[in-house]
Structure 1
Amino acid sequence: MDPLSVISEDLAEIDGQIADIFRALSNGFQKLEKIKDANRQSRQLEELTGKMKECKRLIKEFDREVKDLESRNDPATIKMLNEKKQGMVKELNSYVALKKQYATNLENKRIDLFDGPNEGFREDNGLLASSMTNQQLMDQGNHMMDETDQAIERSKKTVQDTVNVGTETAAALTAQTEQMSRIVNELDSIHFSIKKASKLVKEIGRQVATDKGIMALLFLIVVGVIAIIIVKLVNPNNKDIRDIPGLAPPAPTRKLLWEIH
């Protein structure tokens, strides 16, 4: 039997879900080592990242449950639960670091794919130069230098545009990440509140059921008393029913001794 189930069934359930995710992450990274295709590696990393996000959400929920139980458990139990939570956080961080390492290696592979071998000088340029005069060579050299300068300027502009786009994209991603984080935290809080409200509704339901039982018993007692009163009024000489105060028939008038004589 899970020791956490003795403390709280909700904690035991969350702990089981986190343990399942950790097993899935371990198996996923072992599978990732055997994948050679970059696209398949990227998809596997995305899947593992989703599991790590879910695990982070569950650890936050575990922490909220622990804080909710602080007032109802002894310090030793709360210390044990906090240590367990720290162990979960440490294990999750190890998988996050492993994911970053694989992502970096995958990015380096993609960069290598774009880097091709340098092109050599064309041989026909040399053949063409041998048939040209000095002035033509100078003009051709100046023309090539102008083209090179223009190409460098275009490259600078492209690089600057790329930097600007990258800066704007990074700022947008940062804002979206913060917004998504706030949304996730709000959803977690709503989910936690719904669970607490469900528990409260169940407790209220049990209390209402108890109150209804008491009211039914009182109703039966009142109905019985009313029935006895009715029977007594209809048949006041009925000796099977005990006299009810105020409804008993009047006692017979006693005669004095001297009135008899």
Structure 2
Amino acid sequence: MDPLSAISEELAEIDGQITDILRALSNGFQKLEKIKDSNRQSRQLEELTDKMRECKRLIKEFDKEVKALEGRNDRETNRMLSEKKQSMIKELNSYVALKKQYATNIENKRIELFEGPNAGFEEDNVLLASSMTNQQLVDHGNRMMDETDQAIERGKKIVHETIDVGTETAAALKAQTEQMSRIVDELDSIHFSLKKASKLVKELGRQFATDKCIMALLFLIVVGVIAIIIVKLVHPENKDIRDIPGLAPPVMNRKLLSSYS
């Protein structure tokens, strides 16, 4: 059982949180030693700095709780709590020193990165200028101006090329937009034509069905007429069948009125 639990549950809880943070700081700095990239080192160092701030806050809370319990505890207990607090502060200070060391190293790397091989270039230029004659200084100044003018011209060229590319891109986007509008209009026209064609097919279907009925009726009428004609020709004396004009057989006994006169 944790001896601090017998003194104060809150004190034991704070001590546990501080122990966890100090362990995380130890692991974090071990991990930091293996990181070579300065940007990643900076991010890792920021995380460790936040943990150190939290640890410092908890140590203050621990000290406040110890002072609140100081009158109730015996001398030996107070001495043990004071030594524990000092041990926490000492370990935290060691991590703060490591943090400062790593921060300095990272800053030195960044300075070397920005200055690079040109470090001390201005001093060399001063020494070089002091050894030049007036004419050499003028010539050197003219060359620097020419180089500056050339750099400006290159910059202008790049700007003009960028503007041209932007103009061409805008024109291409406009053409594509117009093409898309035409495609949408054509799709609308096709949709309308399909609806119209579908309606026409339905009307033709209904008309064709009507024509079929009419043709069937005409066929039945023709068949009936042919049947009557056949029956009339086969049985001309059949009085049940009415004569069809133009097909009645000639009357043999018909006499002219002039024969009786």
TM-score normalized by the length of structure 1: 0.47
